[in-house]
């Protein structure tokens, strides 16, 4: 799809759905910030390092960090300036979707960090709706 075709398509979608105005979390590495109420996918190396820096910049953000395989070392987050009082770390090798859904419905957390293991479009759509409703990222 050419760049102009993409711009036209984006305008048409905006006309139908209306422009969604997002609030943003501050981030020194992203000039506009990180949008709230949206699913964000981090790719590449140093994802955990970037998240640690982001959470140290946003110390007031309550975070639910869920993993299917425990790889996170909480003391490493603390050493990078993350306020661990605002981070809930969970291990859910099974029923990951259910745990994320409960966390979003609680509307307690501003951010959720989870592995990308959802292959069904239905699950992703449900998570997007819950994310928007909770104004979480």
Residue 1: pLDDT over 70: no
The proportion of the chain whose per-residue pLDDT surpasses 70, expressed as a percent, equals 85
Q: 103-109 contacts: CB < 8 A, separation 24 or more?
A: 103/64, 103/66, 104/130, 104/131, 104/133, 104/134, 104/136, 105/130, 105/134, 107/133, 107/134, 107/136, 108/62, 108/64, 109/62, 109/63, 109/64, 109/134, 109/136
Q: What's the mean pLDDT in 8-32? A: 75
CATH (one of 1.10.3720.10, 3.40.50.300, 3.60.40.10, 3.20.20.70) for 23-134: 3.40.50.300
> Which one is predicted more confidently, 12 or 22?
22
Give the sheet arrangement for strand 63-67, strand by strand.
87-91, 63-67, 111-113
**What mean pLDDT do residues 112-125 have?**
85
Output the pTM of the full model. Answer: 0.79
Residue-wise pLDDT for 55-74, tens only, equals: 999 999 999 999 988 889 99
**What average pLDDT does this structure show over 10-29?**
73
Q: What is the pLDDT of residues 67-107, one digit of tens each?
A: 988 889 999 999 999 999 999 999 988 888 899 999 999 99
In this prediction, residue 84 carries a pLDDT of 96
Encode pLDDT of 22-45 as tens digits: 789 999 999 999 999 989 989 889
Q: What is the pLDDT of residue 100?
A: 92
Whole-number pLDDT of residue 7? 66
């Amino acid at each position: 799809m050419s760049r102009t075709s993409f711009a036209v398509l984006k305008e048409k979608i905006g006309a139908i759905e209306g422009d969604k105005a997002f609030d943003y979390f501050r981030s020194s590495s992203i000039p506009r910030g990180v949008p709230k109420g949206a699913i964000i996918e981090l790719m590449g190396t140093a994802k955990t390092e970037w998240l640690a820096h982001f959470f140290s910049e946003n110390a007031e953000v309550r975070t639910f960090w869920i993993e299917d395989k425990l790889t996170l070392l909480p003391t490493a987050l603390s050493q990078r300036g993350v306020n661990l009082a605002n981070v809930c770390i969970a291990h859910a090798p099974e029923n990951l979707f259910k745990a994320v859904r409960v966390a979003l419905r609680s509307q307690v957390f501003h951010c959720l960090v989870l592995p990308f293991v959802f292959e069904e479009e239905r699950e992703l759509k449900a998570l997007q709706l819950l994310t928007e409703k909770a104004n979480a990222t």
